[in-house]
Amino acid sequence: MENKQKILNLLGLAQRARKVVTGTETVLKQVRAHKAVIVFVASDSAANTRKRFTDKCRSYDVSLTLDFTELELSSAIGQKRSVIAVTDKGFGRKMLELLST
């Protein structure tokens, strides 16, 4: 549970450092360009959104997590969003590390 909070805090830091992109099309563009390190899709987002990103991230070998709700993601970055990509390797690596523990 506390790792979840650490990840959300890191997401907020990454947002302030401008290492985060949000919104469906922008995130897809980053995934296709191999610039996304990890993609967050809200667990309560539309089923077709979750499927679209699961498939896209799998085919481009990008890490994806559905562990957070839209409310958690939105409050972490201070904007109402259900799809977020982290483009910085440092932030991304740390978040993946926390997710796997």
Q: Name the residue ranges covered by the structural domains of the chain.
A: 2-99
Instruction: Please enumerate in sequence order all residues whose Cβ is within 8 A of that of 12, keeping only pairs 6 or more positions apart, or say none.
Output: 76, 77, 78
Class level of CATH domain 2-99: alpha beta
Per-residue pLDDT for 30 more than 70?
A: yes
> Region 34-44: what's the mean pLDDT?
97
Pairing relationship of beta strands 83-86 and 38-41 according to DSSP bridges: antiparallel
Per-residue pLDDT for 64 more than 90?
A: yes
Mean pLDDT score of the chain: 96
Question: CB of 63 within 8 A of CB of 34?
Answer: no
